[in-house]
Amino acid sequence: MVNTTIELGRGLVLRNPVMTASGTFGYGEEYTDFVDLSQLGGIIVKGTTLHPREGNPYPRMAETPSGMLNCVGLQNKGVQYFIDTIYPRIKDFDTNVLLNLSGSTLENYVKGAEMVNELEKIPAIELNVSCPNVKQGGMAFGVTTTGIAQVVSEVRKVYHKHLMVKLSPNVTNIAEIALAAEASGADSVSLINTLMGMAIDAEKRKPKLSVITGGVSGACVKPVALRMVWQVAKAVKIPVVGLGGISNAIDAVEFMLAGASAIEIGTANFIDPAVSAKVARGIIEYCENFGFESVTDLIGALEC
């Protein structure tokens, strides 16, 4: 019997290392025909901002080699709507429900975090300081050490549960950013958010996305994500949550070997909506096959 429990700190305990990434799993409800949510360590619901946002115009998506681009632009109905309408429907899911919180100003991050702090069944925020798709989607905070220190320390003052900070890969040195988040009070960091990219329709001589650039996700980003997780895990003492192109259990194990304590599954949910539970089972099989008694033994077990 493999022990699959992962403790990420400040009361956030996952029954296994597998979570679903924000923006790829709706509010969990969209996937209950395919996945028994109790088989997951947690779900991270879609990026929510203090005020409602309509997001970017259509088209918001383009397929790319082994991946996709999106420029959704944080479409959501705001924190209050989440509290009033969505939270009552999902709060009793038999898994951890984390909220991905985004913002455009420091005040909005803080106000949003204060409101979410009151929600008994939300054990953690994933602080999104890395959305590349809106002018003030937080990436301005997420790409400098001073910016991230500012937003994390201010949110930390009002948010008393587990604070996970989602990092942007669109930086020169992601380990420095992670260290700044850690020093400012983050309980964990998750990485990577999408890589900025673009796609062009050569026949029409036009960009394929309405706002020209977007975020790349899917299998194609995995090597980049794995490298960044490895770099960050070496640098920080807080747990690292790895994501970026994970499509199966072996991908997930690779991220854990590189130093991730838990992982998130994102774009792969679009191709196989049942993939998250399969990955959770597959990690156990890997542990059984290779004689690991606990999934925690995989964390940073890379030999090099």
Partner 1 sequence: MKQIKEFKLVEKRDFGRSVLLRLQSEQRLPDIEPGQFVQVRVDGSPSTYLRRPISIHNVDFQKNEVDLLVQQVGEGTRHLAKASVGDLINIMLPLGNGFSMPEEGQKVLLVGGGIGIAPLFYFAKVLNENGVQPVLILGGKTKSDLLRLEEYQQLGETFVTTEDGSLGEKGFVTMHSVWKERTFDKIYVCGPKPMMKAVAKIATEKDIWCEVSLENLMACGLGACLCCVEDTNDGHVCVCKEGPVFNTRRLKW
Q: Does 59 bind partner 1 (CB under 8 A)?
A: yes
Interaction of residue 66 with partner 1, rule CB under 8 A: yes
131 is catalytic: yes
Which of the residues 131, 220, 287, 304 is marked catalytic?
131
The vertex-133 CA angle with 17 and 227, nearest 5°, equals 45
* Residue 104, helix vs strand vs coil: coil
Helix axes 249-257, 222-235, angle to 10 degrees: 30
Nearer to partner 1, 123 or 245 (CB): 245
For the stretch 248-281, what's the b/e string if a residue is b when 16 or more beta carbons lie within 10 angstroms of its beta carbon? ebebbbbbbbbbbbbbbbbbbbeeebebbbbbbe
Helices (H), ranges, the chain: 79-81, 87-90, 106-117, 139-142, 145-158, 174-183, 222-235, 249-257, 268-271, 275-290
* Helical packing angle, 249-257 and 275-290, nearest 10°: 60
Q: How far apart are CA 150 and CA 18, in angstroms?
A: 30
| 11 or 57: CB nearest partner 1 | 57
Region 75-114 residues binding partner 1, contact defined as CB under 8 A:
75
Contact track, partner 1, 240-279, x by CB under 8 A: ---------------------------x-xxxxxx-----
Check residue 70 for interaction with partner 1 (CB under 8 A). Answer: yes
Residue 55 interacts with partner 1 (CB under 8 A)?
yes
Over the window 212 to 241, marking each residue x when it contacts partner 1 by CB under 8 A and - when it does not, the resulting string is ------xx----------------------
Choose the stretch contacting partner 1; rule: CB under 8 A; options: 17-25, 102-110, 113-121, 138-146: 17-25
Amino acid in position 190 = S
Selected range binding partner 1 among 60-68, 142-150, 166-174, 288-296, rule: CB under 8 A: 60-68
**Sites for partner 1 among residues 20-49 (CB under 8 A):** 23-26, 30-31, 33-34, 46
Contact 232, 178 (CB under 8 A): yes
Q: Tokens representing 250?
A: 């072996």
Nearer CB in complex with partner 1: 68/229: 68
Sign of CA dihedral 243, 249, 254, 257: positive
Binding site for partner 1 (CB under 8 A): 23-26, 30-31, 33-34, 46, 54-55, 57-68, 70, 72, 75, 218-219, 267, 269-274
Active-site amino acid positions: 131
